[in-house]
Amino acid sequence: VKAMWAEIGVDAELRNASASVFFGGDPASPDTFQKFYADVEMYTNNFDGTDPEKYMAEWLCDKIPGPANGWQGQNIPRYCNPDYDKLVSELSRTADLDKRAAIAKQLNDMLTEEGAHIALVHRGDQSSFALTLDGIKMNSWDSQVWNIADWSRKK
């Protein structure tokens, strides 16, 4: 990465923090992802399940970690847009699934178009199971045992 950036005139200092420090959340450490003391950071961020409301709410202005809240908060990139916050509030009051999907797409578009996140890859899920089991359907959106009620032993 550093060499490729140098080719286009971008100087970079690469630092590698231990995962236990980076994700540890120690308010005294300058190397936690909550403090985001960098111009660019890379880590995987996603949501579990099929409803993105909880994930979308992590980007609210009041979720920005800082000294006032002991560096607690999920909005690591410090994205803040009052229009986004209003739309998340609308999502939380909307029950219709098609309307929720439309709002979620709007929210995602705002995050992407305003540079809050850059989706580069979706990591594949790995799983293994006994060849004697039947009915297993892996699902990237839920637990690997989401349909365990449908599993059976092959005869």
Average pLDDT over residues 21-31: 85
Residue 43 scores a pLDDT above 70:
no
Rounded CA separation 13/40 (Å): 10
Q: What is the pLDDT of residues 63-114, one digit of tens each?
A: 999 999 988 888 988 999 999 999 999 999 999 999 999 999 999 999 999 9
Q: In this structure, are 89 and 28 located in the same domain?
A: no
Average pLDDT over residues 36-65: 83
As for how many domains the chain has, the answer is 3
Share the mean pLDDT of the chain. 88
Query: Backbone phi, then psi, for 153, in 5-degree steps?
Result: -85, 135
Lowest mean pLDDT of 40-44, 51-55, 102-106, name the range: 40-44
- Quote the domain boundaries for residue 22: 1-43
Residues of the chain with pLDDT > 70: what percent? 96
Q: In this structure, are 33 and 55 located in the same domain?
A: no
Q: In this structure, are 73 and 113 located in the same domain?
A: yes
Q: In this structure, are 35 and 70 located in the same domain?
A: no
Q: In this structure, are 72 and 118 located in the same domain?
A: yes
β-pair partners for 152: 134
Q: In this structure, are 35 and 49 located in the same domain?
A: no
